[in-house]
Structure 1
Amino acid sequence: MDLYFEITGNGHPVVLIHSGGADSRLWTFLAPLLSKHYKVIAFDGRGAGKSPSPLKHANYVEDVRTLMDYLELKQATIIGHSMGGQIATDFALNSPERVSKLILIAPALTGFPYSKEFEQYHIKISEAAPNIDKMLELALDSPTYQVVFESPHKDLTVQMLRHHLGRMLMWPADFCMKWPQPPAMERLEELNPETLFIIGQKDLADNIRVANCFRKVPNIRFIEKEDADHMLPLTHSEDLYQEITAFMEV
């Protein structure tokens, strides 16, 4: 296993999958709370944090399966944020027997038609390469960070994003992400695990639209946080802890 991971606590296993633009430090505040009751596994995705850079392509869903196999986890609760939620959803669709419960925090969604504004935002960041300062400035110019920037966690957010952008510059020029087919958006009605979906009301419009797609999921519970943007694991760790533990104990 070449991915960096940390394990804290004991009990039922919980695997935390961080968002793009971040690493396992995203769980700095939530993981210690969850580890009071559960065995918490937080890892750096391929190309993020302390994990190695991808070679041409990355299959993040397969990486979750490989990590669980390495740790001899037959089943776990999977918690994913943003792109981590996208990975978690695809993993639950393709390996439902490995997922006891699924918790999605403002997830992305494979196959979702993102808006032109969203696509242009990412294109502008890429076009600013290799100027990391400019890339960072453009990346942070987003409602994604409006709440976290007014919190004590602004510096950590910036540190993770700067580190991520620097790592991206070292990825292969022909890098691509491999996702299971057909796309998750076309299969949401097949999502079997009991699912908790949490999103901030101040999140991007695209992410709110993604949330509406998940209304197709048969056994899902929605929670909206009025005063939250996209970065709930940093700004609302205590709230998430309460909601997650209540959901897992049912």
Structure 2
Amino acid sequence: MDVYFEITGNGHPVVLIHSGGSDMRLWKLLIPLLSKNYKVISFDGSGAGKSPAPIKHANYVEDVLSLLDYLELNQAILIGHSMGGQIATDFALNYPERVSKLVLIAPSLTGFIYSKEFVQYHNKILEAAPNIDMMLELALHSPTYQVVINSPQKDLIVQMLRHHFERIFKWPADFCMNWPQPQAVERLGELKAETLFMIGKKDLEDNFRVADKFLKVPNIRFIEIEDADHMIPLTHFEDLYQEITTFIEDGS
């Protein structure tokens, strides 16, 4: 298996897919709660945390498939945050028989066109390379982190971002991400899995525009988390736990 993973607890399998710029430590507060009743599988995506760097191309959707196959899991509940939600959505569209339920936490979306301001923010961070301290300062100066940087988890988000920046310098110069076609933004009406969509009320406007796209999903429920920014798993993990367990148990 090409990615590092850990398994905690017993029960119906739940796979946690972390966001870009983080690693499986994103779920450190949620895992102890979920693992009381479920078999929780967390992993570091290719190039993140303890997983090896991608050789050239990264196909995160196929990485999830490989993980499920390796663990001999016919079906699992997928929980994805930000880019992890993008991965989970693409996986559910392309392998619907492998997904029992889908939980998306402020997901990004393949094929969605982000605002000029959003693109400029990310470009400005990259332009500061290789000065990691400056990259961190620019990255954290965003509504994305307005709540978490004033929480007890500030050090953790800084550690994960620093680790991420250090690692991307070692990736191949021609690195790229491969995503399934057609793009998910064009296919959301085909999503078969019962879906829970959660977003913090203080998240970016672009992420609320993504949420609007998910109105096309046939069987979806939307929840907004009070006083939360983009990093809900670190600041509102108890709220997540309550909403996720209610969703999983409803109708099961």
TM-score by length of 1: 0.99
Question: Could you say what secondary structure the match of 1:243 adopts?
Answer: helix
Amino acid at match of 1:172: P
Secondary structure at 2:228 match in 1: coil
Q: Does 1:249 align with 2:249?
A: yes
Residues 164-196 of structure 1: CA distance to partner in whole angstroms, max 9, x if unpaired? 111111111110000000100000000000000
Task: Determine whether 1:185 maps to 2:185.
Answer: yes
- The aligned runs of 1:219-234 (5 Å cut-off) are 219-234=219-234
- One-letter code aligned to 1:229: D
Partner of 1:163: 163
Moved over 2 A (4+): none
CA distance in 2, matches of 1:176, 1:117: 23
SS of 1:161's partner is: helix
| AA at the equivalent of 1:23 | D
Shift of 1:126: 1.1
Whether 1:36 and 2:36 are equivalent positions in the alignment is yes
The secondary structure found in structure 2 opposite 1:91 is helix
Structure 1 counterpart of 2:211, one-letter code? A
**SS of equivalent residue, structure 2 residue 144:** helix
Are residue 27 (structure 1) and residue 53 (structure 2) matched? Answer: no
Measure the CA separation in 1 of the matches of 2:169 and 2:206: 26
Equivalent position of 2:195 in the other structure: 195
Written as runs of structure 1 = structure 2, the 5 A alignment for 1:15-164 is 15-164=15-164
Q: The residue matched to 1:14 in structure 2 has which SS?
A: strand
SS at structure 1 position matched to 2:165: helix
One-letter code of the match for 2:44?
Answer: D
String of CA shifts for 1:62-114, please: whole Å, max 9, x gaps.
00000000000100000000000000000000000000000000000000000
Number of aligned positions between the proteins:
250
What secondary structure is seen at the aligned counterpart in 1 of 2:16?
Answer: strand
Which runs of no fewer than 5 residues in structure 2 stay unpaired? none
How far apart, in 2, do the equivalents of 1:173 and 1:186 lie? 30
1:2 deviation in Å?
1.7
Give aligned-pair identity as a percent.
Answer: 78
What do residues 40-70 of structure 1 show as CA deviations (whole Å, max 9, x unaligned)? Answer: 0000000000000011110000000000000
Two-structure CA RMSD over aligned residues (Å): 0.6
The amino acid of 1:68's aligned partner reads: L
User: Tell me, what secondary structure is at the counterpart of 2:171?
Assistant: coil
> 2:147 is matched by which residue type in structure 1?
V
Q: Is 1:4 matched up with 2:23?
A: no
Distance of 2:2 and 2:53 partners within structure 1: 10
Q: TM-score, normalised by structure 2?
A: 0.98
